[in-house]
Structure 1
Amino acid sequence: MPLEYSFIRMRRLSLLSLFLFLLVLTPAWAQRTLTNPLKASGPDPWVVYKDGWYYYMNTVGNRLDLWRTRHMADLGTADRKTVYTPPASGPYSKQLWAPEIHFLNGKWYIYFAADDGRNVNHRMWVLENASADPMQGEWVLKGKLADPGDHWAIDLSVFEHKGKLFAIWSGWEGAINGRQDIYIARLKNPWTMKGDRVRLSKPDLPWEMHGDVPEEWQKNGEVPQVLVNEGPQFLRKDKNLFIVYSANACWRDYCLGQLQYDGSGSLLKAVNWRKSPQPVFVQAPENGVFAPGHNSFFKSPDGREDWILYHANPSETDGCGNKRAPHAQRFSWNPDGTPNFGKPLPKTPMPAPSGE
């Protein structure tokens, strides 16, 4: 073999070895990070991961917007599209709150609360899209999703358990009484309830009864105290089932509580659910994170990590406005199978979800 050819061959092998070496090390060197908040504003955040994309929504108020990104760190600059604008008047024309996008039975659905401009008329509504890409296709209003009594309702989420579809949401027992409870019901299909609602939780522990209304609000006819259980989200780990919900008023001591299914009997019986005696996620003033709540959950793209997404305020006095911004962080599990959310992390870079 000519010496010149041998040298060239050795050089190529060396370059190939270097390339393979760098390829192995690159993931460690190029670890993506994200920093909270993920964008400047975003009350009531919701995200789902499918086919390489995160699909994200939050309350905008007068319409429904959908964001799409491959990396949670890029949420602030993600593709954004208004997928639904309601009519100028009517029962679902105003105050569009807490939208969620779900992929069910081969189609996309968006659930949102809306009213005619009067909060007492808030109900849940459902949109359907048959397109494989929810940023494309037509969103069709399927109608109102209500229990037989047609009660006030917000913050509805859906989940499947043993082949059956369920809805969980926040509602009033009757007329406005200053208290919001957590309800569950079976669904006949993604836009129709099957049977009546069942109340699973009401604010009845000392830590979830901090809802004093500011005096200036009372002058406008508000009740003196609002006791809140809202924003319920379903969480599953192996055979353990949980509902994580927001407690207290969004302007004071907002935090997360938890219900755990005891593993026996119907999900539609309140006696089969046990409430955590203490909140499971509270604010961290030392980290500049106040009033964390209205969460959702997602898996990392490789399925190895569990993440919580929630909104929080940058200060104690920011209340229920647009300073609420989306935060995300990884959480773990306790030896007894319950989730361990830790505390809200500081606004410093952290590793992005694995598999991105």
Structure 2
Amino acid sequence: MHAGLWPNPLIEQRADPFIYRHHDGYYYFIASVPEYDRLEIRRAVTLAGLARAEPAVVWRKHAQGEMSALIWAPELHFIEGKWIIYFAAAHSPEIVDGLFQHRMYALECGADNPLTGQWHERGRIITPLDTFSLDATHFVHQDKHYYLWAQKDPAIRGNSNLYLAEMATPWRLKTPPSMISRPELPWEIIGFWVNEGPAFIRHGRRLFITYSASATDENYCIGLLWADADADITDPAQWHKLPQPVFRTQWQHRQFGPGHNSFTVGEHGEDVLVYHARPYTEITGDPLYDPNRHTRVKAFGWDEEGMPRFGEPPADTVG
């Protein structure tokens, strides 16, 4: 299927989408489900095939205690021969002091096929702050494993900042976290002061981190950080923030609040932005409980300076 002709939306009612292309030839898909009660994985040999693939439930929330409420934003990674799922969960759906109560957790599977293999809980991923935290991702740079996530610092205004640390194991940090971004620009603080949902991609001699900002309604949008590949990426000063969003609501196309992206590679080697967006703005109640943040994919390119050019969210082609 041509890069510009994937169905839009690709998968309905799946927010915070993550797609990983493995060396076995399959695309693996995981995302938040509207019920926020389970983790499910599907796979297909094409991106379009993910829409028709049967999901396999690999884990369900606990009946009580930690990991019993609001299972959010899972990601599936393959780290040193093992499958790892990172996700956020709370012990209660209640909001306390203006925030949900999420912490970050990991599961591990040693089987070849993560849809049918046995998954083991590896517990909470501990950070120096015992605060609201979520949206973890993983990447390797210069043979070091890094953990990248969003977390609240009580001393800083807002819901969450972005943090980066080297990892000792897939569920334990090796170095103190570095805060590489905080919500500060006008488009990052609409409704809520938010930097969250980070995603990593490398191109040429630069490293890029996209992230989502503002409330999860039509104001939700994607920003961009970049650093030189040879820089000390744990030094916050090495990360440069673009002054404007790189992907945002497109009213004419009726694509609202695009965000919480990941990256994958298309069948023909093209870079692909994976994200969710709603087809309307009229939301009753908390936007987080509106189920119609749909998974979408879009090929993108790079300009002469080596910066990504995501363009605009295209209009729906199905539905």
Fold equivalence (TM over 0.5) = yes
Taking the aligned partners of 2:231 and 2:131, their CA distance within structure 1 comes to: 26
1:272 partner amino acid: Q
Question: Is the contact made by 1:262 and 1:274 (CA closer than 8 Å) also made in structure 2?
Answer: no
Q: Can you list the C-alpha shifts for 1:48-93, whole angstroms capped at 9, x where unaligned?
A: 0111211101112111111112222233321211000132011111
Instruction: Give the aligned length.
Output: 306
Once the two structures are superposed, the pairs formed by residues 110-259 of structure 1 within 5 Å of their partners are: 110-117=85-92, 118=94, 120-174=100-154, 178-211=158-191, 226-259=192-225
- The separation in 2 between residues aligned to 1:279 and 1:176, in whole angstroms, is 22
Deviation at 1:265, TM superposition (A): 3.4
Gaps of 5+ in 2: none
The whole-number CA distance in structure 1 between the counterparts of 2:4 and 2:260 is: 26
Q: In 2, distance between residues paired with 1:200 and 1:105?
A: 26
1:269 and 2:243 are equivalent in the alignment:
no
Match of 2:55 in 1: 80
What is the alpha-carbon distance in structure 2 between the residues aligned to residue 196 and residue 160 of structure 1?
Answer: 17
Partner in structure 2 of residue 53 of structure 1: 26
Q: Which amino acid aligns with 1:48?
A: Y
Contact 2:10 2:48 in 1 (8 A): yes
Percent identity for Structure 1 against Structure 2: 37
Q: Which residue of 1 aligns with 2:13?
A: 41
- Answer 1 or 2: which has greater helix percent: 1
Tell me if the contact between 2:76 and 2:84 (Cα under 8 Å) persists in the aligned partners: yes
Decide which structure has the larger Cα Rg and report it. 1
The match for 1:218 is none
The whole-number CA distance in structure 2 between the counterparts of 1:74 and 1:32 is 15
User: Aligned match of 1:336 in 280, 305, 308?
Assistant: 305
SS at match of 1:227: coil
Residue 276 (structure 2) pairs with residue 311 (structure 1): yes
Q: Is contact 1:264-1:272 (8 Å) kept?
A: no
What TM-score, normalized by structure 1, do the two folds share?
A: 0.82
Q: Which residue of 1 aligns with 2:79?
A: 104
Which aligned segments of 4 or more residues in structure 1 are displaced greater than 4 angstroms? Answer: none
Q: SS of the residue aligned with 1:58?
A: strand
Aligned-pair distance for 1:263?
4.0
Query: Secondary structure of 1:44's partner?
Result: strand
Query: Is the alpha carbon distance of 1:175 and 1:90 closer, same or farther for their aligned partners in structure 2, counting shifts above 3 Å?
Result: farther
Secondary structure of the corresponding residue to residue 74 of structure 1: helix
